[in-house]
Every structure is written in C-alpha cells, then in structure tokens.
Structure 1
Amino acid sequence: MDRADQYWAEVFHVERAELRRPGVHFTYVDEPRAGIYVLQLDETVRVRAPMRRRADVDGIRIETALDGAVWRAALADSDPVVLGPAAHYLAGEDIPSSREARVPSIDEVRRMTERIPPEEVEESGVLDPDVDRFGLWAAGTLAALSSLSPWVGGRTDVGLLVAPGFRGRGLGRRVAAMALNAATRRSGIARWRCREENAASVAIALGFGLQPYARNLGIRL
C-alpha cells in the first residue's frame, strides 16, 4: 500500500503524508487536453483536472464525487465520456498460477475483441500499447485474455477480458492468475481495477485475497 500511496501522491502533487487527509481536494494542471481523474481513499477524495475546467470542478462535493451523472451535468458542454466508478484492489504477495503463460498474437486479440462491446475492450486495456498479454484458448479460439500495463514497479496493472460465449466457466480466474503471478513475481505488486457493478470481476479479486484500496472515476473531455 505504501508504494501505491506514493504513486498517487505524485499524481496529485502532494506529500505522501497529506494524501489521505479527509475531505475533497483539487489539483489543477496546466494541461488543456487533460481529462479529469477522481480518486477516493476512505474519507478522502482527490480530483485532478485541467485548469481551464476549474469553475466546473470546484463545486463537486464528497457525496457526489463518484457520481457519473453529476459530472455529465457539470461538463455537458464538452460531451464527457465517464468511465467508472471502478474499484481498485492490490496484491502485495505472489499469486500462484497453475498454468504456463501463453502469449496470443495481436491478430488473435483483435479477432476476439471484435465480438465484445467497445467500452468493455477499452476498460480492459488489452489493446493498449506497451502491454504484456496472456491467453487461454478453447476449441482453438482465444477465449480469455489478461494483460499487464505500466504502473508501479513496471507492468503491474492487470486487465481482464473474457469472450461472451465463454463466460461463467472459470476462464477469467485462470487467465487472471497468469497476469497476477507475473506482476507479483517480477515487481512485488499488482493492481486490479474493475467496474463496481462487475460482480464476476470483484469476486475474482476477492477470491485471490487482493486488498481493497480505492475507488475512482475517469472523465475524458
């Protein structure tokens, strides 16, 4: 948790000892094209936003900071894309994996993602550049995919995607273990993020014994 706290302290330009000070706190950056990021840590909410949106952001309260509808109304002129709210979980110990990791080709990944709603693909991060990917196949078809994107200590941010026709078979847990094992073995930490209403993903995180850490909302302008 200390490593994660240090990371977020740098994101919000505060000392680590100040990161969890209760209340709502705003960090404004001189990056006109930046989006808005909201992070809740227990009784603390931190908001990072471009300076040009300060008038719209200053009125956000702790009770509504992770309410997508409130942000859509406040930023209606920019047609915002709101992602989340999502839950964060951390692994700080090695997660065992019973299968040897196999790496899918990018063509296989693209064929798989064509069958899945774009918003699910985007949030999983499996098509992002600079990621490690791990796959499981069923009947010769890529059925489940996990990925590791850059975060604390290297590639430690876990993404997960299972093709609709293969869900409910435990493939998500098996392929997730590959990514978690790789991250914790190499870097000693892994982060798991998922939409809070995604009960299957939450169950996987808790089943691995990952530690609840934070909640977030991301807004693209």
Structure 2
Amino acid sequence: MDFSVAWTPADCHHASVTNDPLLERAQQVWADLAGTPVTFTESAIEVVASPQSLLCPPGWIGIVALGRAVIATAPDNGTAEIVKHALKDLPATAMIDPAALRDRLPVKETLGPATLAYCDSAGFHPAESSAVETISADHADMAALLARVSVEDTDESGLADITSPAFVVRTGTDIIAAAGYRCWPRRTAHVSVLTAPAARGRGLGRVVATAAVLDALNASLLPQWRARPEASRRVARALGFRELGSQLSVNLMPADRAQRF
C-alpha cells in the first residue's frame, strides 16, 4: 500500500493541539501531504488540483476522509472539477467506497481503501513482553525476513521504508516479527509491522508494535497506523489506536474512454 512518501526525520515539525488532538493532527498531516493548500471542512469535500500530491500515486486521484470531512487531490484542474461535481452530494463514507465511486466516475482501478488510525499515550494499551530486541533498520537479518515473505506482505507492511530502529522477535537467529516507523510530516510516526506467515496468530505483531509505538510516543511523535487487512486493524485496535478515517487512491480511465462513460 505504501507509495513511498518521501519525507525524512528532518522534515518533521511541531503540530498544534486542539480539543481533539488526534483528529486535528491527523488532518494536518494529510493536508500537508496534499502538496497545495487544502482544508478539511466538516460534512463537505474540498477537491484541489495538485500534481505533486502525496495522497496517491502520480496522476491519480487521492481521497482522504477524517472525521466527517474529506479532501481530495487531482492531477489537474479539469479532473478536479470532474471529481468535485461527481462527489459533491455523496456522504463521506461513500466518497471512499470504490463501488460508490464507480457509479459516479470512470474508474479504471483503485488502491484501498485503507483505514487510518491514531494513538496517544493516554489511549495506548501496550502488550507485555521482554523478548523484543532493537536492531538497525538496515540489519542483514531484516533483509532476510523480507526475503522470506511475499512481495504483497512486504508492500502492505511498509517495513522496508522505516527510518526508526527495528524492534524484532526471533526464533533462534531468525527474525519472525518486526516493527518500526517512518517519520512523516507533523511529527508523525507511520507504523509498520510484519510477522512471518508461520508465526502469525501468536500475538507477536502486538509485541513488536508495542515497542515501536512506545519509541514514537517517547519521542513525542504521533503514531499512525494505516491498514487494509482486518487482522492488522485488530492489532491496532487492541493497542488503543482509534480509527479516524480512510484513504483511497483512484485511477481514472483515459479521457477518450471517460467521454463515453
């Protein structure tokens, strides 16, 4: 799911706090990623043209719903107007529903939706374990773990892109579960977790994720959990993450086919 948001730890900066810190900070993160000024407005959608948007792959439409507000980016002004007109009277939940969008737009393919969840110190429920080891993200044993799982699992986890240390559990010398995070804008820690297929169902994802989230919270970062599979979402909820919204990327059919839509 990750399309490699190109931020480094130096890009993180302070975020303001409101009466709902998690929702406000989450909205600020995704507004920054839009690449052009955009505002989350309750019970409405704001669509902007932004060829440099990081809400989606280049040339696609990116839609993010957080709370009851939705923003969307399009690669050009013409596409932005089409999207704005097509989605203006849809409820927020339908705007990130691929089936609903196909009734309104000439959709070629979609990525997602992925659930966006966030956690703070007050709501965090850590898993207890003393078996977690901390190693560098570029350690050879991390590469060995990624080589043992499918490309789909690697891509879904985003573990290859972490900028934090890796927090791992081993069997013998082999890593069987690992977690870490990538620093995003607004002092956000985008959490990545991966458990080897043969070791799943034992709670190891919660164990390594606990270490990664604690590291992020101790650094005053906002942990973010983005996931499509229900199993990953269950881990996040067990740790105290609140599901605040969803993200969807949409690729439209070429203009000549769209005209016949």
Question: Residue 83 of structure 1 corresponds to which residue in structure 2?
Answer: 111
Alignment of 1:20-35 (within 5 A): 20-31=41-52, 33-35=58-60
Displacement of 1:89 in angstroms is: 1.4
Write the distance in 1 (CA, Å) between the matches of 2:193 and 2:251.
Answer: 22
Write the distance in 2 (CA, Å) between the matches of 1:93 and 1:47.
Answer: 30
Give 1:93's aligned amino acid. Answer: S
Question: Residue 135 of structure 2 corresponds to which residue in structure 1?
Answer: 103
Give 2:118's aligned amino acid. Answer: L
Counting matched residue pairs gives 213
Task: Establish whether residue 137 from structure 1 lines up as the match of residue 183 from structure 2.
Answer: no
Displacement of 1:50 in angstroms is: 1.1
Alignment of 1:64-75 (within 5 A): 64-68=94-98, 70=101, 74-75=106-107
Cα RMSD for the two superposed structures:
3.0
Instruction: Answer with 107-116 or 57-66: which moved more.
Output: 57-66
Contact 1:27 1:49 in 2 (8 A): yes
Question: Residue 204 of structure 1 corresponds to which residue in structure 2?
Answer: 235
TM-score by length of 1: 0.80
Task: Establish whether residue 175 from structure 1 lines up as the match of residue 208 from structure 2.
Answer: yes
TM-score by length of 2: 0.69
Equivalent residue of 2:178, what SS? Answer: strand
Write the distance in 2 (CA, Å) between the matches of 1:102 and 1:211.
Answer: 26
Quick one: structure 1 residues 154 and 132, their matched pair in 2 at CA, closer, same or farther if it must change by over 3 Å? Answer: farther
Question: Residue 247 of structure 2 corresponds to which residue in structure 1?
Answer: 216
**Runs of 5+ in structure 2 lacking a partner?**
1-21, 253-261
Equivalent residue of 1:83, what SS? Answer: strand
Q: Deviations over 1:15-64 (max 9, x none)?
A: 7xx51321232121144945432111233221112116446634244464
Displacement of 1:202 in angstroms is: 1.8
Quick one: structure 1 residues 159 and 57, their matched pair in 2 at CA, closer, same or farther if it must change by over 3 Å? Answer: same
Write the distance in 2 (CA, Å) between the matches of 1:21 and 1:179.
Answer: 32
Task: Establish whether residue 6 from structure 1 lines up as the match of residue 28 from structure 2.
Answer: yes
Between Structure 1 and Structure 2, the one with more strand by share is 1
Structure number with larger C-alpha Rg: 2
Instruction: Answer with 145-154 or 30-39: which moved more.
Output: 30-39
**Runs of 5+ in structure 1 lacking a partner?**
none
Equivalent residue of 1:102, what SS? Answer: strand
